[in-house]
Structure 1
Amino acid sequence: MTAAAVPPSYAKYEVRRRNPNPASAALLVIDMQKHFTSIAKPILSTLNATVDLCRSQGIPIFFTRHRHESPADYGMLGEWWDGDLIMEGTSDAELLPGLHRQEADAVVEKSTYSAFRGTGLEEVLREKGVEEVIVTGVMTNLCCETTAREAFIKGFRVFFSTDATGTANEELHEAALKNMAYGFAYLVNRERLETAFAGGT
């Protein structure tokens, strides 16, 4: 008796299916920093494989780094997280070692959940002719989800990784995926992207 096949990680909540177009896509790698080591480490291998795959297709890759410089840029995060923020110049603000970032890959500095808010990311993507974004990184339900929602509102087609995103617990991760699939993004994983880029469905 053979074991039942495990369904792919996107299948549970998938509402609509579409493949990204490498010619008009960008990969966003959200906040893979030392502050989030316990959350980021479990997905690092899959995320790096996704980065390598997208790089092989000529897809531009943008890494974000969340950090604060002073109370002037805390916003509501200072209240919400009771001052427990990632401060510029600390080890927590650094990108994780072992991350497959190359020198030419842009790093977008941000101080709130969205990678678009006050960062110039939208303008750079438009200049490059990007129409689609693939969202990876941490945390699934905070910076990844907020970035994906704002990308959708700005008119970008959004693909959201189910296996290269992570957060504090499975319940929050699953809730975010369900929200994404329902109203904002096509769900993908590394295997699905590999098949799509090879011309599969």
Structure 2
Amino acid sequence: MATLAARPKPVEIDLKRTALIVVDMQNAYAKKGGMLDLIGEGIDEERTRPVIAAHERLLPAARAAGVKVIYLQFGYRPDLSDAGGEMSPNRERHAAVRKIRKGGPDRDKFITVGTWGWQIVDEIRPEPGDLVVPKARYSGFAGTAFESLLNGMDIRYLLFSGVATNVCVESTARDAYFAEFWPILIEDAMNHAGPDFTRDATLWFFETKAGWITDTPKVMEMLERSQA
């Protein structure tokens, strides 16, 4: 077992049963000119650059330590057949669905499968041996094979990174907790949508109710110590 410094207290994890879950690190959510930038939800270069840099450290270290790397990738088919029927609240409330339905020149900046917005950012694209789980809802558990993959690999500890802290990361980490996985959020490897209090609320919930909070230096220290 490896000890990871975290809040509210250190957590003992088995690295052979651990995965780094990279949530929606896609152009739409992490790049200037992407969806969150276009709809004014807090994406700017000052906030996204350090998040990408954190992944550039975490990903090779995780792979070297034998930690499984799993990307979650949000996307809708061009015909929106996976966005829900006419009575689906997802179809009404999700900004990408509304934009795709409307069409227009910015459509490829959102998350239509195959477009620039849907693609994982160039700096941290998946490597051979990594897994990519497509999803069409905020949570990686909703309507996907994610839970079956984790169980099939005997994974129990989930290190979360990516975007948005208060939307897809939170939704997936909550479902992970409900499914008896151990959710651990890497706070400096995430970015949030909207005002800062949304991030604070997510971190408060997992620190006090349903998980652990750590950061990139602490994860790096644990991974390096495990290989010493």
TM-score range (shorter-chain normalised) is 0.7 to 0.9
Alignment of 1:79 onto 2:89: no
The TM-score, its normalising length taken from structure 2, stands at 0.76
Percent identity of equivalent pairs: 23
After TM superposition, list the pairs within 5 Å mapping 1:83-98 onto structure 2: 83-84=98-99, 86-98=111-123
Question: Structure 2 residue aligned with 1:27, among 20, 23, 32?
Answer: 20
Alignment of 1:120 onto 2:132: no
After TM superposition, list the pairs within 5 Å mapping 1:1-201 onto structure 2: 14-36=7-29, 37-38=31-32, 39=43, 40-69=48-77, 70-75=79-84, 76-82=89-95, 83-84=98-99, 86-168=111-193, 169-197=195-223, 198=225
The TM-score, its normalising length taken from structure 1, stands at 0.85
In the TM superposition, structure 1's runs of 4+ consecutive aligned residues that sit over 4 Å from their partners are none
Unaligned runs of 5+ in 2: 33-42, 100-109
For residues 166 and 19 of structure 1, what CA distance do their matches in structure 2 show? 26
> RMSD of the alignment, in Å?
1.9
For residues 123 and 19 of structure 1, what CA distance do their matches in structure 2 show? 24
- Residues 48 and 100, structure 1, Cα contact 8 Å, conserved in 2: no
Shift of 1:81: 3.1
* More off after superposition, 83-92 vs 103-112: 83-92
Partner of 2:105: none
- Residues 20 and 196, structure 1, Cα contact 8 Å, conserved in 2: no
- Residues 50 and 189, structure 2, Cα contact 8 Å, conserved in 1: no
For residues 20 and 170 of structure 1, what CA distance do their matches in structure 2 show? 30
Shift of 1:89: 2.3
1:157 to 1:68, Cα distance in 2 relative to 1, 3 A: same
Name the count of aligned residue pairs: 188
Corresponding letter in the other structure for 1:99: I
Unaligned runs of 5+ in 1: 1-9
